[in-house]
Structure 1
Amino acid sequence: MKQAEKPESRGTDKVLLVIVFLLVIIGLIILYSTSSYNGQIKFGDPFYYLKKQIFATSLGLAGMYAVARTDYHIWEKLAVPGYLMAIVLCIAVMLFGDEYNGSKRWLSLGPFSFQPSEYVKVALIVFLAWLVTKNVKKIGKLTTLFRIMLFALPVVGLVGASNLSTAVIILGIAVILIFTASPKYAQFIWMAVTGIGFMAIFLGLESYRLERIAIWQNPEKYEKGYQTLQGLFAIGSGGLFGKGLGSSIQKLGFVPEAQNDMIFSIICEELGLVGAILVILLFFLLIWRFFVIASHASDLFGALIAAGAMAHMMIQVILNIAVVTNTIPNTGITLPFISYGGTSVVFLLVEMGLVFSVASW
């Protein structure tokens, strides 16, 4: 009997490659423009944040290349260990994590520190893609949907204890993955009700989360609404074409830590509405490419990996821009590829590697 041959690589998705590299390059340029003042004031080096981001980006690109060259089916065998490692890391953050701005989100390993929640996003995409594939014949049953969701909830709960915004992203990824595979959409009404109840509990557990809702409604009445107001001033002052790259006023200490969550406001100030729309268009093209790859994947596992990456990118971009424009309460979500954050860019690029692998095999 003839053995089944291993499928040959279909080659690199060049459209996705161009989009990813454009986002990486534009992100580094915008990051330098936004962070040079803070780098000079705090560390005496305007290139401080850029150099750290370039180092992390280099690691991420190496990881992306390695993962893209690997047949994604190998991750099916590592899905469960990867998920268990995510739980272990989440517990470690709660017990030994470094506290920053009142929240424990970081683990230190010698001179290096990283944010485990970024790893959790990737690990959960792979794990749920594997789990849904294993249960695809019973996916139409409500009990199966809830059973799959139960596997996501421990991670959501552990992450949400200190980082509600990332927990929302992780929960959103899980729901969209299951929605993609399910033939019965009406069942998601019950899941939506459960999700709203889950969120209500988390909002009520910490008083500062309820305070954020009050600040969102009337930022001018609260001292903590200062960042939101300054971000809105930056957006408004940019006009149609902006003040020019590097010419932001708000990044000079008015928008605190402008290179992080609020970087989109500086994009609007320096590049104007036109520049902001171009950045959003790049993200839209990236999400569209994920959809195309998911639609043409050779099997369900690959399709769900691409769909998970699509869900991740879509949710995080929408939430970040919604926060900066004060459409929703401030939740501390970074803008993918553009906001400063070494852990974020490393795992984002590894996630891109997974999608490249799906497109190739």
Structure 2
Amino acid sequence: MKYSWQSEQTEQKKCDRVLILVLAIIIVTGLVILYSTSAYNGEIKFQDTFYYLKKQVFATLLGIMGMWCIANIDYHIWKKWAVPGYLLSILLGVLVMLFGEEYNGSKRWLSFGPFSFQPSEFAKVAVILFLTYIILRNAEKMWKFSTVCKIVISVLPIVGLVGASNLSTAVIILGIAVILVFVASPKYGQFAWMVCLGCAFMGIFLAMESYRLERLQIWQHPEKYEKGYQTLQGLYAIGSGGLFGRGLGSSIQKLGFVPEAQNDMIFSIICEEMGLIGAVFVMLLFFILIWRFFIIASHAPDLEGALIASGAMAHMMIQVILNIAVVTNTIPNTGITLPFISYGGTSVMFLLFEMGLVLNVSCLVK
């Protein structure tokens, strides 16, 4: 993909209809799957089978309203807010470390009265806009390895803050940075060095905490560890689904066998209830969504639009791959949600805000 470094005259067009249609199907499918998966836990914990669904629908509606507003705002305006937004994400990360609410052994939430907020979800969007701004300022020097390193290093503070309690999100942020730099750089050979540096960084990061190394052992032999219970139950759910599944709402593993099935492990329940056919259908929806991001990035009117769409593509692609890889025990368990399908109000809201940015880019063509 080649882009002019200068913005060109653009004409207003309708937003990408395929993206809107696929996104709508994913949202509706996700809500149906979430209700099927969470009804039992909602009844047991809150005496309300619709407990999780109602909260998710509320967050989704807020997200859709925000997406519509953002889609009608010229994306060039966000350059002014890129640095303040990034600094705010760092501040929120510090507040999580100091005052964060702990859940399942991890500090990831800030609470404001009855509302809770996961700053790491905001950080993903903030990093996309911040990196876009930094790359635009250094567009003529992107061929230098030193420039590439400086840009990646600029996001390490938020990577470190988020990674202290949420390794998977830190990996996503770092992945977004690498992909955006790759898109903007005219020289690709230097990325071999970046991969080596990234592997070294991850090795040091994993060695800093013993529980991270323990996850590697659990991944290799989940049957030998108590903490491998969730992984094993998820694999049982996948295996019992067969080709066509047990039927929507008929999962056995969601009845307390897979802990918090509506969160990170929801893909295993999809496999159990809808079988291989249903799992492939869900993956196909995400594939089409990511493909539309690529098309929008390829036809963006300028580098800024291309980077925003590429950042959203990187975010979606990495998060979907990580979630499915974790559920199938292809990689160690890192606690990552499936976009638009797993339960999480903060996640779905900021994902939809991000979709608003991409839709606005799609409205402007050469």
Regarding TM over 0.5, the answer is yes
* Equivalent of 1:25 in 21, 25, 28: 28
Identity level (%): 72
Once the two structures are superposed, the pairs formed by residues 1-361 of structure 1 within 5 Å of their partners are 7-361=10-364
Output the CA distance in 2 between the equivalents of 1:323 and 1:150. Answer: 27
- Write the letter of the residue equivalent to 2:216: I
User: Match of 1:323, as an amino acid?
Assistant: V
| 1:99 aligned counterpart, secondary structure | strand
Please state how far the C-alpha of 1:6 moved relative to its aligned partner: 7.6
Q: Give the TM-score normalised by structure 2.
A: 0.96
Q: Using the alignment, how far apart are the partners of 1:103 and 1:280 within structure 2? A: 29
Distance 1:207 1:55 in 2: 39
Structure 1, unaligned runs of 5 or more: none
Alignment root-mean-square deviation, CA:
1.1
Distance 1:101 1:245 in 2: 28
Give the number of equivalent residue pairs.
358
Give the Å deviation of 1:8.
4.1
Give 1:186 shift.
1.0
The answer to whether the Cα contact below 8 Å between 2:339 and 2:348 also exists between their aligned partners in 1 is yes
Question: Deviation at 1:170?
Answer: 0.4
Provide the rounded CA distance (Å) in 2 between the counterparts of 1:169 and 1:29: 27
Are the counterparts in 1 of residues 242 and 275 from structure 2 also a CA contact under 8 Å? Answer: yes
TM-score (norm 1): 0.98
Q: The residue matched to 2:12 in structure 1 has which SS? A: coil
3-state SS in 2 of match to 1:334? coil
Amino acid at match of 1:129: T
Counterparts of 1:156 and 1:237, CA distance in 2: 38
In 2, distance between residues paired with 1:101 and 1:237? 27
Structure-2 separation of matches of 1:146 and 1:336:
30
SS in 2 for 1:50: helix
Any stretches of 5+ residues in structure 2 without a counterpart?
1-6
Q: How far is the alpha carbon of 1:9 from its aligned partner?
A: 2.4
Instruction: Name segments (4+ residues, structure 1) moved above 6 Å.
Output: none
1:206-228 superposed Cα distances (whole Å, 9 cap, x missing partner): 11111111000000001110100
- AA partner of residue 314 (structure 2): A
SS for the counterpart of 1:351 is: helix
Secondary structure of 1:154's match?
helix
Conserved? CA contact 2:10–2:301, under 8 Å: no
- How far did 1:250 drift? 0.3
2 CA distance for matches of 1:15 and 1:224? 42
Deviations 1:51-82 (A, max 9, x none): 00000001100110000011000001111111
Cα distance in 2 for residues equivalent to 1:337 and 1:231: 20
* Cα distance between partner residues in 1 of 2:152 and 2:330: 28
For residues 81 and 301 of structure 2, what CA distance do their matches in structure 1 show?
20
| Worse overlay, 120-129 or 94-103 | 94-103
For 1:167-198, what per-residue CA distance to the aligned partner results, in whole angstroms no more than 9, with x for missing partners?
00000000000001111111111111111111
**Aligned partners of 1:235 and 1:49: how far apart in 2?**
23
Helix, strand or coil at the partner of 2:343: coil
Deviations 1:79-106 (A, max 9, x none): 1111111111111111111111111100
The 8 Å contact of residues 8 and 302 in structure 2, kept in 1 or not, is answered as: no
SS class of match (2:187): coil
